[in-house]
Amino acid sequence: MDDPIESVELQIALLLRLADRNRRRTPRLDGTLERSAYLALRQLAAHGPCGINEIADHLRLDASTVTRQVLAMEAAGHVTRERDDRDGRRAVVTMTEAGAAALAHTRQARAEVYDDLLAEWSPDDRRLLADLLIRLNEDMDAKVGRPSTSVAHGPTH
């Protein structure tokens, strides 16, 4: 392929397909959080208790979608929801100890998978990949008209 855009498009499509397939076929990832819960819990770990709208803004999702995800996380015991004392219309979502443990387990499992996958890569190539993925995520985020200030920097296994 001479056209780099064509190559990028194809490689991203393949990456997404392979990532989905590998998640289902990698025993180390059994019992880990689904992506939506993982990202929401990372948000709560980084910023503490948040409202649904704050989580939705960070994840670039509709509040109704996040509400459903929070309900599922609450049912799993990973978060609690309580009414904000200052604004009774607002629910504050807080990560539980079980949520923190599930997040730690998932982060460790994902780190091990990527460490194995990139074992033959030099530290410079690993850093380059991380930097380019951060840049790609920030640029994709900016193209949909959202600020990129909340895009995660650093490892997001």
Instruction: Please list the rounded mean pLDDT of every run of 10 residues in the chain (157 residues).
Output: 89 92 85 93 97 92 94 98 84 96 96 95 98 94 60 48
Nearest to 77 by CA among 54, 55, 48, 97: 97
CA distance 25 to 66: 27
What is the pTM assigned to this prediction? 0.81
What residues have CB less than 8 Å from 44, skipping those under 6 apart? 50, 55, 79, 93, 94, 95, 99
Output the pLDDT for position 145: 57
* Residue 84 pLDDT: 80
- Supply 154's token pair: 């650093």
Q: Quick one: pLDDT at residue 71?
A: 96
For residue 45, give both structure tokens.
């770990």
Rounded Cα distance between 89 and 63, Å, is 14
pLDDT value of position 157: 45
Contact present, 77 and 98 (Cβ < 8 Å): yes
Q: CB–CB of 66/56 below 8 Å?
A: yes
- Give yes or no for a contact between 110 and 157, defined as CB atoms under 8 angstroms apart: yes
Burial 87-96 (b: 16+ CB within 10 A, else e): eeeebbbebb
Q: How far apart are CA 151 and CA 107, in angstroms?
A: 17
Contact in structure between 102 and 41 (CB atoms under 8 Å): yes
Instruction: Give pLDDT, residue 112.
Output: 94
Q: Report residue 73 as tokens.
A: 């996380």
